[in-house]
Structure 1
Amino acid sequence: MPGFAVEEVDPTGAGDCFGAAFVCFWLRGAAPAEALRIANACGALAVTRKGPMEGIHRLADVEAFIAGAGTRA
């Protein structure tokens, strides 16, 4: 699945956000493709802020990002 195109500020924590989101959604019963879509968005959003914790977003923000993302890498 392609990633989301964003302007990278700091990649620190992106993999952690991606992995945590994927595992959480998969364990909640989401289909792998849905878990991957959310995880991709979480990883993309994570790189838009400086620091390992500042890139964490609420689910509503992640869903809004996905809904408004017309461009994918």
Structure 2
Amino acid sequence: MKLSNEEEGKSVVNKEGTKLGMVTQVEGDRAHVDPDPGVSDTIKSKLGWSDADGDTYPIQESDIESIDDDKVRLNR
């Protein structure tokens, strides 16, 4: 799956559908995921104001099974 800035603010779920966090920033083929986003993080990400920081975890395009309008589903 190809990542784009459109994924910022989307939920990240595992293969079983359990929410793992939220995409806060996309850089090339990597998305940064905040495992415990607060309301302000969600709003900032949807507005494109969010940056990757020490509290996020990277996922690669190769980790993604599918992307839809509101979530990124991992393949594991």
Whether the TM-score (by the shorter chain) exceeds 0.5 is no
Q: Which has the higher contact order (CA 8 A, sep 6+)?
A: 1
Task: Report the TM-score when normalising by structure 2.
Answer: 0.29
More strand by share: 2
